[in-house]
Chains A and B, each alone.
Chain A
Amino acid sequence: MRVDPSYVTNLVSSLDQAQVNEQQLSSELSSGVSISSLSQNPVGSGENVLLLNQIQQDDSFTQSSNLVTGQLQVADSALGSVASELTQAISLATSANNGTMNSSDVKSIGNQISGILDEVETLANTSYQGQYIFAGGQTTTAPFSTSTATSPGVTSYSGDEGVNYLEIPNGQKIQLNVPGSQIFLASGSNSVFGALNSLVADYANGTVDTAQAVSDTEALNTALNNVSQQRVTLDNSITGLSSASSAATNVQTQLTTAQTDLMQADIPTVSTQLSLAETQQTALEDVIAQLDSSSNSLFSKIQA
């Protein structure tokens, strides 16, 4: 049987292959990354893109949620202050309505309620980082202003009904603001400013039309309930955000683990493969050296 006389050349190409193998394995070991080109794992490469997308989305949401939580908390605490101001106004009005006060006391109560009106207006014009938070979408101008040209005075709203939402990664939307008109100028007897302005007018002259004043006080009470209800919306958003944010963090942790499993080199396996490749290389080198040193042709045996 004839053989290929250039078999040493074939051995050398096996040696090259072994070295390529070693190079690849050692670069996997040093970088710690198992997929360094798409063809090493096409499906894994595609999966990696999607995993990173979700991880980064969750990461970005966690950051956004920290930003908006501040704004929601400012709004919530402003409404808390409004509620205590209104409670005080109601107790002042109730004491004025029992008919035992003289004219100057009634006037003084009128002035105090007028002061509360100013205070509530300031709270309704609360801003966060330069933006008015109860102005709907018109956040650049203070939404509430009161004109005392008429009696009772009129508080007007220059904002709009715009509501902003933050979309969380699962697609659910969280409400970020409540338009000021819904809180302070709600229709019917729910209007905070309507009731306050009426009460200021009721006590302005020092004489009390008891029936009217009692009805206006009741209206203020109703308006206070409305404020508390609107506040619940914001509280729900704060709770919702906090749970969505911690859910996002949990998911992110899980996804990161999955992504690391996908992309990270399995060190024990790679090390074993590398050691096998090294053994193969040494064996090949020995064989080639052997073939080279022993004169492998009959010519060396022929005596001249």
Chain B
Amino acid sequence: MGTINSAYALISGALNADQEALSVVANNVANANTPGYTEETPDWQENQAITVGGVSIGDGVSETGATSQRDLVLEQRLNQQQQLASASGTRLTALNDMQALFTPDSGSSSATAGDIGSDITNFFDSFSSLESDPTDNALRQSVLSSASTLAGDISGAAASLNSQSTALNQEASGVASQVNSLTGAIAQLNQQIQSTSPDADAGTLEDQRQQDLSQLSQLVGINQVTTENNGLSITTTSGQLLVSEGSNYQLTTGTVNGVTDFFLGGTDITSDLRTGGGELGGYLTARDQDIPDALSSLDQLADSISTEVNAQNNSGTDLDGVSGTAANPLYIFNQPGAVAGSAAGMKVAMTDPNQIAAAGAGDGTGDNSNAVSMASLAKQPIVNGQTPINQYSSFVSTLGSTVLQVQTENTAQNASVTQLQTQNNALSSVNLNDEAAAMSTMESSYQAASQVFTMLNTIMASALNLGEQATVS
């Protein structure tokens, strides 16, 4: 049977519970802008009813804490999408830097021309002009000057690509140390969570862990596996262990063939990380795939032009009546040793314009047959089965298509990240309207409970005075 005393106890419990709930709401409002904070809702529990003499009487309410509003599956999907988006975003930045080196030439007259394509055209055209007067010094000089413009532009582009590659290398190494500090923090959080909250959501600790995971997803492609007692293991997308519950494994870097490679426990996992995603994946894809592709096209172009033009010049007779020999070759360009690196090393070796062999072998110096042959190299498939200008044209188309493709991918991935982010925010971030409503509700119930308390007080006084007007009130 219920008593006034038990009603007192019940209602003071309700007041306590309301206070606790109010402080949960206050905490939500306070953390409304804290990164990684998830909104918490107060947990209410009905106290066990008391059965006295076969009659069951309610025993009020308790506030048993707060629950974070979190959807781990949604967060994991968000992280995965983030890995893809940041990989393509990083790669896109690198590709944009690359394509800036090959800006399309809008001018149509040779005077305003400036890109490598125009350089190639001008170089071979200078031989066509030389056909008209093979002994003219000005025309010979213009062959050498157009050759040095071509060599300068190709080697300049190659040098810029190389320095971009070095910069990407450094950025990638920087990412490794950030990954290590995040995996260290996650391992530590794992230990705390496993000891304090093995069975339930760990609240603010879980917030921190999720925040670290989201940052880690920006950097590198990962898989996460939940283990017993609310622990977490993290592997790279290809399965190498980064965090195993309470311990983490350091990603180390080392130089292999002049570039930085990444190791985990002595195993070189660079190629796995490249395809894995995250910023690191983007840096490595640009460094190991996009830049080498572009460089190899330029190398082929430089190597073929240098070698073929040198050979052709060497087989003719120059203005002094001299023909090239093995010991004293008549080379216009530095003869490349190997295809790789020939773009960076492209340079004009000839200084005396008289050494341009416009005349055929053994012909008089007024002959132009070798100049005709050199000019016609422009129309021959000397670069990998293509003419030099066609090779350059398909090179710029390919590079442009790659940039466009990555750009499209990146846009789609970012849209998907935004969508998932919106879903996640809708669930987990603090909505001030909700908090205001909760505050209002809590306020009313607190006021109601205190009102009940006051009334109980009056009732108690009446009981003590047994209906008489007396001192107790």
Contacts and interface: CB of A to CB of B under 8 A. Distances in A.
State whether these chains interact.
yes
Interface of A: 2-7, 10, 13, 31, 33, 35-50, 52-53, 55-57, 59-61, 63-65, 67-68, 71, 129-132, 135-140, 159-160, 162, 164-167, 171, 173, 176, 256, 259-260, 263-264, 297-299, 301-302
Interface in B415-471: 418, 421-423, 425-427, 429-433, 435-437, 439-440
A67 B133 contact: yes
Contacts of B432: 5, 297-299
Contacts of B105: 48-49, 52
B3 to A, nearest CB: 37
Interface in B86-132: 95-96, 99-100, 102-110, 113, 115, 117-118, 120-122, 125-126, 128-129, 131-132
Contacts of B81: none
Q: Which of A10, A38, A46 has the most CB of B within 10 A?
A: A38
Given A46-B397, A49-B396, A33 B431 contact: no
Contact of B364 (A4, A47, A137, A297): A137
A56 B122 contact: yes
B131 A60 contact: no
20 contacts: A39-B400, A39-B404, A46-B393, A49-B389, A50-B390, A52-B113, A53-B393, A56-B109, A57-B128, A59-B110, A64-B128, A67-B132, A68-B132, A132-B366, A162-B364, A162-B369, A166-B128, A176-B131, A259-B108, A298-B436
Contacts of A162: 359-360, 363-364, 366-367, 369
A297 B366 contact: no
A140 B403 contact: no
Nearest to B424: A4
Contacts of A48: 104-106
Nearest to B133: A67
Contact of A10 (B109, B128, B389, B422): B422
A275 B340 CA distance: 49
B401 interface: yes
A53 B103 CA distance: 16
A101 B398 CA distance: 87
Overall SS of chain B's interface? helix
A36 B103 contact: yes
A176 to B, nearest CB: 8
Nearest to A259: B108
B34 to A, nearest CB: 13
A216 B431 CA distance: 119
Nearest to A42: B400
Q: Which of B108, B389, B400, B431 has the most CB of A within 10 A?
A: B108
Contact of A46 (B122, B126, B396, B423): B396
A56 B129 CA distance: 12
A64 B372 CA distance: 13
A49 B128 CA distance: 19
B125 A60 contact: yes
Contacts of A173: 372
Given A38-B104, A52-B105, A137-B365, A60 B113 contact: no
A60 B127 CA distance: 10
A302 B96 CA distance: 52
Contacts of B360: 137, 162
